[in-house]
Amino acid sequence: MTPAARERLSITVPLLLITGAAWTILVVGPGTMAMPDGSSAATLATNLSTSRGMAVPDLCSAPTLSATSFSNSRHLRLAFSLLASFAASWMLMLTAMMMPVLIAPVRHIRDRSFTKRRARAIVLFLTGYAAIWIAAGVVLLTLAAAAPLIVSRLSVALAIATFVALVWQFSPAKQLCLNRCHARPELSAFGLAADLDAFRFGFMHGSSCVGSCWALMLLPLLVSRGHVAAMAVVAIWIFAERLDGPMPPRWRWRGLGKVVRIAVAQTRLRLQNS
């Protein structure tokens, strides 16, 4: 193994272990947290709006909140419980899906920080990264929750979202965001400046990541059955497209090409060696 490969492993192994743990919880965990019926945010919204007499947009969209909505303390408790549940679920979803694409930027943070500051810098990076994704999550979950209330059938909402995701997938704007995901900026080494740079790098990386992946991330939220499987497909897709290097933004298809080529080559290699 080369020295560089050894260094890569030092980050890859722990992050993949975390990823594995997150997927284990999603697959065999208790009721997948914010999605109590094991299904999507959109299904949950439908259930809530019909059986509990509460509109989910009221919970997820701040401008629509009103004092009367929470006059009942039971509703208030339920609202907080649901919000916490959504937040935890969203973080679990992010951990499972995004940790593999964070291997390279986390390595950058680790390599360019003092040994004694590495853990702290990585935590700050992840905090910045999660912050922007949490904000994006509010929007995406609200969209997913509102979808069945706007269109008559969830399948229609899913079809519209798939179309939007496909257009975005082809677009130059997507490439622009993907390119920014490969940026590895210089980082201050000392004191508050180092902390701020680590957080800023996480935030900027997260922003590019949201720009690149928002449309894909919406899809599993709209799938009523096989939600976790849909997440897995999207996660593989996101990981695969990140393997390609930056390229000039233009309309083009982006997908699994490189990951398939790697899989074929590496499989052939192992078969030859066996």
Partner 1 sequence: MTFTRTNVWALGSDWADAILWYARGVAAMKARALAEPTSWRFYGAIHGIDQPLWKLLGYLKSSDAMPSAANLSRFWKQCQHGSWYFLPWHRGYLLAFEANIRAEVLKLGGPNDWALPYWNYFKPNQFKLPPAFASADWPDGKGNNPLFVPQRYGPNSDGDVYVPVNQINLDAMTDSDFTGVGSGGDPGFGGVDTGFEHGGPTHGRLESQPHDMVHGLVGGGDPNNPNLPGLMSDPDTAGLDPIFWLHHGNIDRLWQVWRQSPPTDVDPTEPNWLKGPANIGERIFSMPMPDGKSWDYTPTEMTDLGKLGYTYDDLSPAVATPQPAARFQRLGMSAVAAEAMRGGPAVTIGKNVELVGANRGSLKIIGSEARTSVQLDSGVRRKVSRSLRAAAEAAAPERALPVAAPDRVFLNLENVRGLTDSTVFRVYVGLPDGANPADHPERLAGSIALFGVRKASLADGEHAGQGLTFALEITNIVDTLHLNNSLDVDALDVRILPARPVPETAQISIGRVSIFRQGR
* Alpha-carbon distances of 20 from 24, 92, 98, 198, rounded to whole Å: 6, 11, 12, 25
What is the Rg, in whole angstroms, of the alpha carbon atoms belonging to the chain?
20
Q: How far apart are the first and last CA of the chain?
A: 18
List the one residue from 13, 135, 166, 247 that touches partner 1 (CB under 8 A).
247
In terms of CB distance, is 31 or 257 closer to partner 1?
257
Q: Phi and psi for 128 in degrees, rounded to 5?
A: -60, -40
In terms of CB distance, is 227 or 242 closer to partner 1?
242
List the one residue from 71, 74, 190, 192 that touches partner 1 (CB under 8 A).
190
Contact 228, 32 (CB under 8 A): yes
Binding mask 5-44 for partner 1 (x = CB under 8 A): xxxx------------------------------------
Which range binds partner 1 by CB under 8 A, 82-90, 157-165, 221-229, 240-248?
240-248
Q: 247 in the Ramachandran plot: left (φ > 0), alpha (ψ -120 to 50) or beta? A: beta
Q: Is residue 175 at the binding interface for partner 1, with CB under 8 A as the rule?
A: yes
At 75, the amino acid letter reads H
Binding mask 206-225 for partner 1 (x = CB under 8 A): --------------------
At 187, the amino acid letter reads L
Contact 157, 149 (CB under 8 A): no
CB of residue 141 vs partner 1: minimum separation in angstroms? 30
CB of residue 84 vs partner 1: minimum separation in angstroms? 37
Contact 178, 89 (CB under 8 A): no
Residues 73-132, interacting with partner 1 (CB under 8 A):
107, 111-116
At 151, the amino acid letter reads V
Q: Is residue 152 at the binding interface for partner 1, with CB under 8 A as the rule?
A: no
List the one residue from 76, 150, 229, 243 that touches partner 1 (CB under 8 A).
243
Helices (H), 151-190: 154-170, 172-180
Binding mask 251-270 for partner 1 (x = CB under 8 A): ------xxx-xx--xx--x-
CA 241 to chain CA centroid, nearest Å: 14
CA distance 184 to 40: 35
List the one residue from 179, 195, 196, 232 that touches partner 1 (CB under 8 A).
179
List the one residue from 25, 54, 134, 176 that touches partner 1 (CB under 8 A).
176
Q: Is residue 246 at the binding interface for partner 1, with CB under 8 A as the rule?
A: yes
Which residues contact partner 1 by CB under 8 A? Answer: 1-8, 107, 111-116, 175-176, 179-190, 193, 243, 245-249, 257-259, 261-262, 265-266, 269, 273
